[in-house]
Amino acid sequence: MGQDNCKPQPGDLIEIDRPGYQHWALYVGDGYVIHVTDEGASSISLSSSSIHAKRAKVKKQLLKVVVENHNWRVNNKYDCSFTPFPVKEIIRRAEQRIGMEVQYNVLTNNCEHFVTELRYGVRVSEQVEKAAAGGAAAAVGGIILAGAALIGKALSEGASRR
């Protein structure tokens, strides 16, 4: 599969569709991206899935290798909210981290946090914010349903006592 829009430029954020989540990388030119992955990281719990990694490794790899057969797109969606660093600065910041092992947490320090920090100096992950909002909505919905069930039970018990 391939890209959904124009050819990436150095400094662009690349969003890769993976089953259940988006993986993020930073395009640095000549077909390469820099991203965090659990491949080669020293401490991983439960499985080799990056969802369970506690450490991740910063790698420079060909975009086509990272993408595999998934869809991807250039997505600099935070440009409206934050000012990107100059391209040379973005690339310099990214290349300094190649080969480093970094802390990884799917909720607080994931691949999207990593690339947004490189591009903007701000760590942000909309997919985590959406998941948290969805979880909060589900929790509120569950509370409402539980409350309705209790009220319904109380009403039916009251009616059977009459």
Distance, in Å, from the CA atom of 19 to the CA atom of 132, rounded to the nearest integer, reads 18
Q: Range of 67's domain? A: 13-124
Residue 92 maps to a domain:
yes
Structure tokens given for 89: 């600065």
- Side chain identity at residue 72, one-letter code: W
Residue 6 maps to a domain:
no
Q: What is the pLDDT of residue 52?
A: 56
Q: What is the pLDDT of residue 106?
A: 86
Q: Are residues 75 and 87 in the same domain?
A: yes
Provide the residue count of the chain: 162
Residues 83-122 pLDDT 10s: 999 999 999 999 999 999 999 988 889 999 999 999 999 9
Residue 117 has what DSSP assignment?
A: H
Provide the domain count of the chain.
2
Residue 65 maps to a domain:
yes
Residue 79 maps to a domain:
yes
Q: Are residues 34 and 84 in the same domain?
A: yes
| More confident of the two residues 5 and 146 | 5
Structure tokens given for 161: 């006592």
> Residue 145 pLDDT more than 50?
no
Residues 4-54 pLDDT 10s: 457 999 999 999 999 988 999 999 999 999 999 987 666 544 444 455 558
What residues act catalytically? 23, 111
Q: Are residues 57 and 135 in the same domain?
A: no
> Has this prediction a pTM greater than 0.95?
no
Q: Are residues 29 and 87 in the same domain?
A: yes
